[in-house]
């Protein structure tokens, strides 16, 4: 009975999953149909097919690929540095009562601030190429920082006692107790950091940069080349959406 | 007038692994103003039977009547005290106790009056303005009890209300429940897995078997009306304890084995 | 920020005001200072924050005055403050403030309403909730602003394109948190409401919403922050008016003093809003934790 029960239960859950994925895909299809209809109503919206054609053509264009690379490099660096920096700062804030008392209010306050307005301040310091990475780091940093700090603070008391009773070293404590315990909030932070790194970099590119997809979007907007604009927005959204969904599914699995 | 009448109750559940019979062939009666405890191994269907009487769960077949009226859904005449923590953390003690009255549409003045009476009854005077988070588990369960009593139901159903509390608190609260019952003469059905508690509190103990839950023994508790903790060392108490335990032992083992093999 | 059950991003009261003491060695330190020598934690935090701000102000003042960096990179504190004072009787500033305030206010209003209603809907129809979940979860982190150029093409460079996108940004955390909060209601409360024969509206207003309130309020707080961040960011990209737009404008015409005054105002206003929301949240969850 036990095995059969478990098998049928998991089959049921699998069935549910399939239904939900189908539902979510259906929703995307509905959005596509709405897009198609909307493109018929106004000339400023290109059709899905036209957009896809431009996108494919773009991806074969070396100049466009240079922009893709510029944005990708900036995003990946911002994400990496932001996550590591945020993780370390989060650990410090979570572990030290004094660090928390002194810095937490400022951290929370800064998190609620539209950080993009600081971009003009960054420009003279980090130049055109560096500023967007710094902005991306500022965007990516906070979710990791706050989730790690909160996660560490909520590590159950008994785990600390366990660590002390087996005389775990600080490193062992971190690797074998703290990190496994906070893995869920940490992953959530990382997922948000990935999306926010994209937003930070592209917003900066909207403002000012030499190369990058944000600049392509605004330039094609200026030229009235809406197919190019939508194709580029679509590329950015689809990539960050896919990464986000993958991280989210991973997060759900390790629950 | 508030007799609980159970007539051939059967409850089945559909689960992914097939049909489970939780309760089968229960025909019993709690006389008006009586105090009956229901004991049985964990997972035997005690709570299910209680849910059927309260109208929260429908029996697959059979009849439940309270005060001569068939129970098909929850009603005002039946109060339930849950096993789980059920105080509302966003309300003060006073507001928690008034909650049931407020839902019932009792007017404000009477709400306050009856809540005060119930708060006094369960010994929470002075804590009216406290939030549940400031109280101990035992006190929170008193709040839940007061909330039920404030409705002045003819029948009070208690589903292992003290299961989460420590031994001393249980004994203390048990004595108070008995005290309140003796004064109010409400009909009480009390579910527990603690044999001593069942004997100490009630006039009659029903022993339930492991799945499907049937009543396999009914034991009248012929102890003096006034009972204190010293009674547990009396020969009469021990005799009753042994009788309940011998009925229960086989069932507990059977239940334990089935649960072990299931996982 | 928040960690969720549904999306992975929600937990009430995480971030600034978690009162759960860190269960570490501090509590069993052998020596403790006498009670009267210990300042209360909020006091230490407030003092430290004020101290840090003063230090930053002094460093900015001294640094700019003694030429550690060019004054155009970061002007002296006194220059920025007098710039802010200058804004107070600048009608342009007040119209920008009104414009941004209106956009943010409308986005908060529409976003909270839409978020609450969709949260209730996803709670009542769980399958629908799970179908929408992946989208809500991924748009949570706000790549919504990337749609802004598209929005201005379709709707035009005006307040409504900002309001539309900021509304969507505010809706998402409210919807997610409301759903998570409602789905997390302890089953015993549902039993209680059935046993007391609660009517649907009693169930909703006396049990479901209060029980989910910590999550909902956390969601509302995020929604407000996102509406603010989104609106300012979109104005900053391109617009005709508003605080974000004016920062860009003064950057482009090299009016550094005014640009820094605007930046300072935006920072201060958002910090005030955050503090206000944190206070509001504390009020709602009062009494729930000892």
Domain count, chain C: 1
Which residues in chain C have their CB less than 8 angstroms from residue A237's CB? 143, 146-147
- Considering only CB atoms, A113 lies closest to which of C52, C145, C270, namely C270
Same domain, A34 and A61: no
B69 DSSP β-pair partners: B66
CA dist., res. B167 & res. B165, Å (int): 7
pLDDT digits (tens, 9 = 90+) for B65-85: 898 888 888 888 899 999 888
- Which CATH number does the domain housing residue A198 bear? 1.10.3720.10
**Where do we find the tokens 């603010």?**
C228
Q: Is residue C113 part of a domain?
A: yes
Domains in chain B: ranges and CATH: 1-77+154-229 (3.40.50.300), 84-152 (no CATH)
Which residues in chain A have their CB less than 8 angstroms from residue B15's CB? 5
Three-class DSSP labels, A121-137:
HHHHHHHHHHHHHHHHH
Same domain, A163 and A192: yes
Cα separations (Å) of B112 from A144, B97, B98, B118, B150?
A: 49, 9, 7, 10, 10
Interface of B with C in 6-35 (CB under 8 A): none
Q: Which positions of chain C have pLDDT values less than 70?
A: 1-39, 140-142, 287, 289-290
- Whether A206 contacts A26, CB under 8 Å: no
Helical residues (DSSP H) of B86-234, grouped into ranges: 93-104, 108-121, 137-150, 167-184, 195-201
Which residues in chain C have their CB less than 8 angstroms from residue B74's CB? 194-197
Residues in chain A: 255
Percent of chain A past pLDDT 70, that is, above it, reads: 93
Same domain, A8 and A94: no
The tokens of B7 are what? 């007539």
CA dist., res. B169 & res. C283, Å (int): 33
Which residues in chain A have their CB less than 8 angstroms from residue C49's CB? 102, 105-106
- Beta-carbon separation of C266 and A117 below 8 A: yes
Residue B248: which of B220, B206, B187 has the closest Cα? B206
Cβ atoms < 10 Å from Cβ of C245: 23
Which residues in chain B have their CB less than 8 angstroms from residue A8's CB? 16-17
B9 DSSP β-pair partners: B26
CA dist., res. B185 & res. B174, Å (int): 16
Q: Is residue C123 part of a domain?
A: yes
The tokens of B126 are what? 């002075």
Question: Model's pTM, two decimal places?
Answer: 0.83
Same domain, A115 and A183: yes
pLDDT of residue C5: 35
DSSP annotation of B55 reads: T
Query: How do beta strands B35-39 and B187-192 pair?
Result: parallel
- Considering only CB atoms, C206 lies closest to which of B82, B103, B131, namely B103
Cα dihedral B141/B142/B146/B152 (nearest 10): 80
Residue C28, chain A, CB below 8 Å: the answer is no
- Whether B36 contacts B206, CB under 8 Å: yes
- Considering only CB atoms, C271 lies closest to which of A103, A109, A217, namely A109
- Host H or E run for residue C60: helix C41-65
Minimum distance, in Å, between the CA of residue A157 and any CA atom of chain C:
5
Question: Sheet containing B215-220: which strands, arranged edge to edge?
Answer: B78-81, B155-159, B187-192, B35-39, B204-208, B215-220
User: How many interchain CB pairs under 8 A, A with C?
Assistant: 218
Sign of the CA dihedral with B123 first, then B128, B132, and B134 last: negative
Average pLDDT, chain A: 87
Which phi and psi (to 5°) does residue B81 adopt? Answer: -110, 120
Phi-psi sector, B18: left (phi>0), alpha (psi -120 to 50), beta: left
Question: Sheet containing B61-66: which strands, arranged edge to edge?
Answer: B18-30, B4-15, B61-66, B69-70
- Considering only CB atoms, C16 lies closest to which of A104, A156, A233, namely A104
DSSP A27-47: HHHHHHHHHHHHHHH-TTSPP
Which phi and psi (to 5°) does residue B7 adopt? Answer: -130, 100
- Considering only CB atoms, C287 lies closest to which of B73, B82, B133, namely B133
Residue C189, chain A, CB below 8 Å: the answer is no
Q: Is residue C213 part of a domain?
A: yes
pLDDT of residue A209: 76
Residues in chain B: 263
Q: Is residue C82 part of a domain?
A: no
pLDDT of residue B145: 92
Chain B contact partners (≥3 CB pairs within 8 A)? A, C
- Host H or E run for residue C222: helix C209-237
- Beta-carbon separation of C207 and B92 below 8 A: no
Minimum distance, in Å, between the CA of residue A170 and any CA atom of chain B:
35
Percent of chain B past pLDDT 70, that is, above it, reads: 97
pLDDT of residue B147: 94
Same domain, A54 and A22: no
pLDDT digits (tens, 9 = 90+) for C110-133: 999 999 999 999 999 988 888 888
Cβ atoms < 10 Å from Cβ of A112: 25
pLDDT of residue B97: 95
Same domain, A61 and A39: no
Range of the domain at C274: 96-284
Domain count, chain A: 2
Rounded to an integer, the average pLDDT of A74-85 is: 96
Phi-psi sector, A114: left (phi>0), alpha (psi -120 to 50), beta: beta
Cα separations (Å) of A255 from A236, A249, C6, C139, C219?
A: 29, 10, 11, 21, 22
Same domain, A180 and A71: yes
Rounded to an integer, the average pLDDT of B198-223 is: 89
Q: Tell me which range, A71-75, B173-177, C283-287, is most confidently predicted by mean pLDDT.
A: A71-75
Band of residue B261 on the pLDDT scale cut at 50, 70, 90? low
Residue of chain A nearest C254, judged by CA positions: A120
- Beta-carbon separation of C127 and A23 below 8 A: yes
Residue B129, chain C, CB below 8 Å: the answer is no
Same domain, A62 and A21: no
pLDDT digits (tens, 9 = 90+) for B130-156: 999 889 888 999 999 999 999 989 999
pLDDT of residue C63: 87
Contacts of A35 (CB under 8 A, 6+ apart): A45, A47, A48
**Residue C200 CA to its chain's centroid (Å):** 32
Chain A contact partners (≥3 CB pairs within 8 A)? B, C
- Considering only CB atoms, A4 lies closest to which of B17, B261, B263, namely B17
**Where do we find the tokens 């707080």?**
C221
Contacts of A239 (CB under 8 A, 6+ apart): A198
- Which CATH number does the domain housing residue C264 bear? 1.10.3720.10
Same domain, A149 and A23: no
Range of the domain at A60: 46-253
Chain C contact partners (≥3 CB pairs within 8 A)? A, B
């Amino acid at each position: 009975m036990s095995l059969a029960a478990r098998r049928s239960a998991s089959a049921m859950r699998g069935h549910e999953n399939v239904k939900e994925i189908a539902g979510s895909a259906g929703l995307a299809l509905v959005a596509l149909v709405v897009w198609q209809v909307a493109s018929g109503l106004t000339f400023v919206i290109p059709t899905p097919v036209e957009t896809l054609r431009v996108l494919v053509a773009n991806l074969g264009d070396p100049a466009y690929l240079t922009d893709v690379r510029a944005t990708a490099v900036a995003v990946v660096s911002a994400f990496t540095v932001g996550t590591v920096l945020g993780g370390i700062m989060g650990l410090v804030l979570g572990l030290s009562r004094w660090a928390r008392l002194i810095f937490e209010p400022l951290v929370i306050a800064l998190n609620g601030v539209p950080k993009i307005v600081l971009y003009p301040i960054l420009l003279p310091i980090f130049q055109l190429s560096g500023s967007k990475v710094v902005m991306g780091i500022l965007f990516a940093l906070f979710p990791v920082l706050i989730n790690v700090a909160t996660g560490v603070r909520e590590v159950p008391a008994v785990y600390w006692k366990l660590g002390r009773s087996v005389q775990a070293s600080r490193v062992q404590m971190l690797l074998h107790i703290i990190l496994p315990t906070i893995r869920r909030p940490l992953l959530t932070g990382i997922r948000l950091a990935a999306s926010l790194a994209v937003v930070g970099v592209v917003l900066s590119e909207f403002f000012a940069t030499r190369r990058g997809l944000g600049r392509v979007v605004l330039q094609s907007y200026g030229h009235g080349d809406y197919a190019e604009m939508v194709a580029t927005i679509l590329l950015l959204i689809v990539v960050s959406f896919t990464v986000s969904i993958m991280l989210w599914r991973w997060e759900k699995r390790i629950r | 007038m508030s007799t609980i009448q159970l007539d051939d109750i059967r409850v089945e559940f559909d689960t992914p692994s097939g049909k489970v019979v939780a309760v089968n062939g229960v025909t019993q009666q709690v006389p008006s103003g009586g105090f009956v405890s229901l004991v049985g191994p964990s997972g035997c269907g005690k709570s299910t039977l209680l849910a059927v009487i309260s109208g929260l769960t429908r029996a697959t077949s059979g009849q439940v009547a309270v005060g001569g009226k068939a129970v098909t859904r929850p009603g005002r005449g039946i109060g339930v005290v849950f096993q789980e923590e059920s105080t509302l953390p966003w309300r003060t003690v006073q507001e928690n106790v008034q909650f049931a009255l407020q839902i019932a549409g009792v007017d404000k003045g009477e709400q306050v009056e009856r809540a005060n009476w119930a708060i006094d009854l369960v010994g929470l005077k002075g804590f009216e303005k406290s939030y549940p988070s400031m109280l101990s588990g035992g006190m929170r369960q008193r709040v839940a009890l007061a909330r039920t009593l404030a409705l002045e139901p003819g029948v009070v159903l208690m589903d292992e209300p003290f299961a989460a509390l420590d031994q001393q608190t249980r004994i203390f609260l048990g004595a108070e429940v008995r005290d309140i019952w003796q004064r109010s003469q409400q009909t009480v059905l009390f579910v527990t897995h603690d044999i001593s508690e069942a004997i100490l509190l009630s006039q009659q103990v029903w022993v339930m078997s492991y799945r499907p839950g049937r009543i396999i023994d009914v034991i009248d508790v012929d102890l003096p009306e006034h009972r204190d903790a010293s009674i547990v060392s009396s020969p009469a108490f021990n005799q009753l304890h042994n009788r309940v335990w011998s009925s229960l032992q086989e069932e507990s083992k059977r239940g334990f084995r089935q649960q072990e093999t299931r996982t | 920020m928040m960690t969720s059950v549904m999306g992975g991003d929600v937990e009430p009261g995480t971030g600034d005001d978690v009162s759960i003491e860190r269960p570490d060695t501090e509590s069993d330190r052998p020596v403790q200072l006498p009670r009267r020598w210990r300042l209360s934690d909020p006091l230490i935090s407030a003092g430290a924050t004020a101290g840090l701000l003063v230090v930053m102000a002094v460093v900015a003042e001294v640094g700019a005055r003694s030429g550690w960096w060019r004054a155009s990179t970061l002007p002296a504190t006194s220059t920025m403050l007098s710039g802010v004072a200058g804004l107070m009787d600048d009608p342009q500033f007040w119209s920008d403030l009104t414009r941004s305030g209106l956009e943010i206010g409308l986005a908060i209003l529409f976003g909270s309403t839409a978020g609450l209603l969709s949260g209730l809907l996803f709670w009542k129809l769980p399958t629908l909730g799970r179908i929408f979940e992946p989208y809500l979860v991924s748009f949570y982190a706000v790549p919504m602003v990337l749609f802004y150029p598209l929005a201005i093409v379709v709707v035009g460079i005006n307040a409504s394109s900002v309001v539309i996108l900021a509304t969507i940004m505010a809706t998402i955390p409210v919807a997610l948190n409301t759903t998570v909060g409602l789905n997390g209601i302890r089953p015993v409360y549902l039993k209680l409401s059935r046993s007391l024969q609660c009517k649907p509206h009693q169930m909703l207003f006396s049990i479901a919403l209060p029980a989910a309130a910590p999550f909902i309020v956390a969601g509302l707080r995020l929604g407000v922050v996102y509406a603010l961040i989104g609106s300012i960011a979109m104005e900053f990209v391109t617009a005709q008016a508003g605080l974000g737009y004016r920062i860009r404008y003064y950057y482009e015409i090299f009016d550094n003093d005014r640009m820094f005054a605007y930046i300072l105002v935006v920072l201060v206003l958002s910090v005030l809003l955050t503090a206000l929301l944190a206070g509001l949240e504390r009020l709602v969850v009062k009494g729930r934790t000892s």
